[in-house]
């Protein structure tokens, strides 16, 4: 065991705890069968410098052996009477009553601290009962306190072992629950592959509405959701949800009519392309006359209903019926 009292101060271990450690040391080392004089010398050597000074000052080792007790037992009894209640028992008990579970302190650490402080209080056989009361009052978990008190009906008093068992169970349950919620929150933080690309639901709905409007545009209609126009002034960008004004210059948009429809917007402005007229292709008729090419498509002369440019739109003037 450690030295009992190396310097003038409160012992690291209370006398009952140190005595128990010394007795266990004798049994483990095989010194129990040693002659009493040698055991007394061994005990004196482990008291420490200050402990030996106390023995010499109070002449605790001068008692001779008797028929009932040898010199080692008499010396041990005198040490116990002197050191068992050394210091202020009232002060040590006050410290014990004021001890509560600290933040971050486990239940096992809290009970060990109570037992250490209780060894200085001189409660004797009633130590566990007193520790149970202080342990229950000092727990930081109200759920554990309520659970223990529900088991005590009438004059029943909770035992320290039962209170410690319930406190350990609740502590492990709290750690497991906290770990479960932490893993769940970590999983929920990953993006979900729902096609939204991380956008807000409202922006996703606007993009879908714009896509439907573009599909209608391709089919020949010009319906555009009026609520999107009033919100943006123009359709949102389908790739990022940004309005065209946020992405730079855009094509002009029409104004919505009273029924929420927009006219088909004009295509992107094009620079006029100057094209040379197709060359006049002339071939000889069978009768020796000349046959000019078609004025609409530039190919050989043919009937108007078979002309490939009959339904085409001119790129230059915008009129229909010729290339």
3-state secondary structure 157-169: CCCHHHHHHHHHH
3-class secondary structure, 290: strand
Q: Which residue has 């002449």 as its token pair?
A: 59
Find out whether 114 and 135 touch, Cβ atoms under 8 Å.
yes
Phi, psi of 207 (to 5 degrees): -65, -40
Tokens of 32: 């129990």
User: For position 82, what pLDDT does the model report?
Assistant: 86
Instruction: Give the integer Cα–Cα distance in Å for 160 and 118.
Output: 14
Return the DSSP state at 320: B
Nearest Cα to 103, choosing from 135, 144, 138, 143? Answer: 138
User: For position 250, what pLDDT does the model report?
Assistant: 46
Instruction: Give the integer Cα–Cα distance in Å for 134 and 94.
Output: 11
Nearest Cα to 226, choosing from 202, 259, 263? Answer: 259
* pLDDT, tens digit only, all 323 positions of the chain: 899 999 988 787 878 888 889 999 999 998 988 999 999 999 999 999 999 999 999 899 888 888 788 999 999 999 988 887 656 788 889 999 999 999 999 999 999 999 988 888 888 889 999 999 999 999 998 888 998 888 877 667 889 999 999 999 999 998 898 888 887 766 665 555 555 555 556 666 766 676 676 666 555 544 555 555 555 555 555 444 455 555 554 444 545 555 555 555 455 555 555 555 555 544 445 555 455 678 888 777 778 888 888 888 888 888 888 87
Phi, psi of 261 (to 5 degrees): -95, 155
Instruction: Give the integer Cα–Cα distance in Å for 41 and 69.
Output: 16
Instruction: Give the integer Cα–Cα distance in Å for 235 and 245.
Output: 10
Instruction: Give the integer Cα–Cα distance in Å for 12 and 6.
Output: 9
Instruction: Give the integer Cα–Cα distance in Å for 296 and 134.
Output: 108
The gap from C-alpha 44 to its chain's centroid, in whole angstroms, comes to 56
Instruction: Give the integer Cα–Cα distance in Å for 251 and 266.
Output: 8
Enumerate the β-bridge partners of residue 291.
Answer: 283
Q: Which residues lie below 8 Å from residue 88, measured CB to CB, with a gap of 6+?
A: none
Find out whether 257 and 266 touch, Cβ atoms under 8 Å.
no
- pTM recorded for the entire structure: 0.45
Nearest Cα to 139, choosing from 172, 166, 179, 120? Answer: 166
User: For position 195, what pLDDT does the model report?
Assistant: 53
Return the DSSP state at 47: T
3-class secondary structure, 291: strand
Longest Cα–Cα distance of the chain, Å, equals: 165
Return the DSSP state at 251: -
Instruction: Give the integer Cα–Cα distance in Å for 17 and 147.
Output: 32
């Amino acid at each position: 065991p450690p030295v009992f009292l190396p310097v003038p101060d409160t012992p690291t271990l209370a006398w009952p705890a140190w005595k128990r450690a010394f007795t266990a040391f004798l049994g483990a080392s095989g010194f129990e069968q040693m002659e009493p004089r040698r055991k007394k010398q061994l005990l004196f050597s482990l008291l420490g410098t200050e402990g030996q000074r106390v023995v010499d000052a109070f002449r605790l080792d001068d008692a001779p052996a008797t028929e009932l007790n040898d010199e080692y037992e008499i010396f041990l009894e005198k040490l116990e009477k002197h050191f068992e209640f050394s210091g202020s028992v009232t002060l040590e008990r006050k410290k014990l009553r004021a001890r509560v579970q600290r933040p971050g302190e486990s239940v096992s650490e809290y009970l060990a601290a109570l037992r250490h402080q209780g060894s200085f209080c001189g409660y004797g056989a009633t130590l566990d009962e007193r520790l149970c009361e202080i342990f229950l009052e000092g727990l930081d978990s109200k759920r554990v306190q309520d659970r223990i008190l529900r088991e005590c009906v009438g004059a029943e008093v909770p035992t320290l072992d039962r209170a410690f068992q319930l406190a350990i169970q609740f502590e492990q349950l709290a750690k497991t629950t906290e770990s479960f919620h932490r893993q769940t929150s970590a999983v929920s933080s990953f993006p979900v592959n729902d096609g939204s690309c991380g956008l807000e639901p409202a922006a996703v709905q606007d993009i879908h509405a714009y896509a439907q409007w573009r599909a209608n545009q391709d089919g020949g209609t010009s319906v555009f959701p009026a609520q999107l126009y009033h919100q943006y002034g123009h359709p949102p960008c389908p790739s990022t949800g940004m309005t065209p004004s946020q992405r730079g210059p855009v094509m002009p948009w029409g104004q919505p009519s009273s029924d929420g429809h927009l006219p088909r917007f004009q295509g992107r402005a094009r620079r006029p392309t100057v094209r040379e007229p197709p060359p006049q292709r002339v071939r000889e008729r069978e009768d020796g006359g000349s046959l000019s090419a078609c004025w609409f498509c530039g190919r050989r002369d043919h009937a108007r209903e078979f002309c490939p440019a009959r339904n085409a739109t001119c790129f230059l003037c915008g009129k229909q019926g010729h290339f």
